[in-house]
Amino acid sequence: MSDVRHVLVLPDRDAAEEAAEALGERFAIDEEPQLVRDALAGEDDAEDAQWLLVLRDERERLDPAELDAFVREWDGWREEP
């Protein structure tokens, strides 16, 4: 099995938490995505942080195009590996 990960970047914590919940419902993922705060370089203010959802996809069953469309619903994007 390979160690495939998808990283979804979201504009704030609320969006990240909502997207994390919806991911399980829409994609039937096996494990909870990891939620990570990513402060922008040089910024200490929590308002200037992006939130990342890190998904493991060892079976490579998640379609990157579907993830792109999904994360855009919260004004986010998927980082290319």
Q: What is the pLDDT along the chain (81 residues), one digit of tens a residue?
A: 567 899 999 999 999 999 999 998 899 887 889 999 987 655 555 556 899 999 998 888 899 999 999 999 999 999 976
Say how far apart CA 59 and CA 51 lie, in whole Å.
25
Residue 32 has a pLDDT of 87
Residue 62 burial (CB count, 10 A):
17
Bridge partners (DSSP) of residue 79 are 7
Taking the complete model, does pTM exceed 0.75, yes or no? yes
